[in-house]
Amino acid sequence: MKIIQLRTDFSFAGRFMVMALMFLASCSSSGGGDDEPTPEVDQEAPTVPTGLTAENITQTTARLSWDAATDNVGVQNYAIYQDGVYLTSSGQLFYALEDLEPGTTYSYQVLAIDQAGNESPLSTVLELTTMGSITAELQYESGNIDTYLRNLIDNVPGSGQDGYTAPVDAQLELWEAVVGHMLNDQISEAVAKSAELNYQITEFTDDTLSPNQVFYILAEYDSAKTNYWGIYVFSATPESEDLILMAPHIKYDTNTGYEAAYSFRNNVAKALLLSSAHRCNSDTETECSGTTSACGSSGAYRISDLAHNTDSAFQRTTEVIATSLPNTVFVQLHGFGKGDNDPDVIMSNGTDETPDTDYASLIRDALLEEDASLTFKIAHIDTDWTRLRGFTNTQGRFINSSPDPCGTSATETSGRFIHIEQARPKLRQDASGWTKMSNALGNVF
């Protein structure tokens, strides 16, 4: 009996100890939970994205952009809806649309999504219509090309109208191909590709010249202009085959477009490059170096200022011609307001170096034969002169082999770029002054 009693007592004590240990373990476990409270779940949705806009609209592409939404933790990405149906997501504040149908209207909305997956309401609806299909056919005109170009120049939009749109990389690559075809007399190929960019090519016969001359004009589709990248003219049989005339500020530098077109026709130069929007047409600033007060207070150049922007059809045309035709010389015409102590003409090759063939000095000498009263400053000769020298001109920088035409002035000169600033009275005012410039260029080239 004693043995049995002892076993019963031991069994009771063991059970008591087990229960005590379980109680202690339970207390320990619940106490740890008090030290680490359960984190709160983010249930706050981001704000609605605003400012949804579309740019660079072509027949098949467009670029959407919008303003950033805000969130208590952080926005992770944006969902894009096309015609009310989810299309894709973007971690940026923009998205490039592709494979659209020509002449079609689409509606777009975006919403913001935070890191917890909370979604904002959809933005307001943006409707965009792609450009209609352009018939890729060569157009034909005849008459006086100077008169024809003057009409195009007269219809160029002015300052602050915000019509100019910057081409994207894919468009610039296509543009480069168009210019290459033009230089190689592959007109049919150029016509087909230019239509994709809303541009047409017109074969213009100037039957007022003897012998008649044929020119090819690359200009935006007249009834639906959307880009304003410039007007480009190429001679089929140039007489001054190394002369390229340029006027990037045809609305700001009064009459320089007329003067360039006049000189181009009279000399049947190789090519003519004209802007087709005021240099201050867009409010968007370019990233290229330099400042100007042309658009108001001193600030960065605008993307519509084609002399100071590397991401442009004007720049790409220059690059293709300069590379393909290494003997060409680019004469760029500008204008300035003459002060009491200023000369009539300020010329530069884009550097303060003197090239082997000094076209600036040759043009000066030829202009003096036309008008002996003209006064000059030439940057690489009058080295104390520091104004209006064209050192920030991106075409000049490229032609002079700058490693970064957008941000770095050239340190050596090729001699192939001539930047001419002209006071108005003696040269830019009217045809009598344009004749002086035209004759001087004809004597040099």
Tokens of 333: 């015409």
Residues 6+ positions from 241 with CB-CB distance below 8 Å: 270
How high does pLDDT run on average in the chain? 91
Listed range (101-105, 273-277, 358-362, 432-436) with the worst mean pLDDT:
101-105
Neighbouring C-alpha atoms within 13 Å toward the C-beta of 67: 8
Average pLDDT over residues 262-274: 98
- pLDDT over 70 percentage in the chain: 91
Residues 6+ positions from 400 with CB-CB distance below 8 Å: 349, 350, 351, 410, 412, 413, 414, 416, 417
pLDDT reading at 20 higher than 70: no
Tell me, what's the pLDDT at 38?
Answer: 67
pLDDT reading at 16 higher than 50: no
C-alpha–C-alpha distance, residues 353 and 227, integer Å: 37
Residue range 185-239, pLDDT digits in tens: 999 999 999 998 999 999 999 999 999 999 999 999 876 788 999 999 999 999 9
β-pairing, 199-206 vs 139-143, is parallel
- Asked whether 316 and 359 are in contact (CB, 8 A), the reply is no
Tell me, what's the pLDDT at 59?
Answer: 77
Tokens of 277: 């929007």
pTM value is 0.76
For 10, counting Cβ atoms within 10 Å of its Cβ (0-12 exposed, 13-18 middle, 19+ buried), the class is exposed
pLDDT reading at 96 higher than 80: yes
Distance between alpha carbon 390 and the CA centroid of its chain, in Å? 19
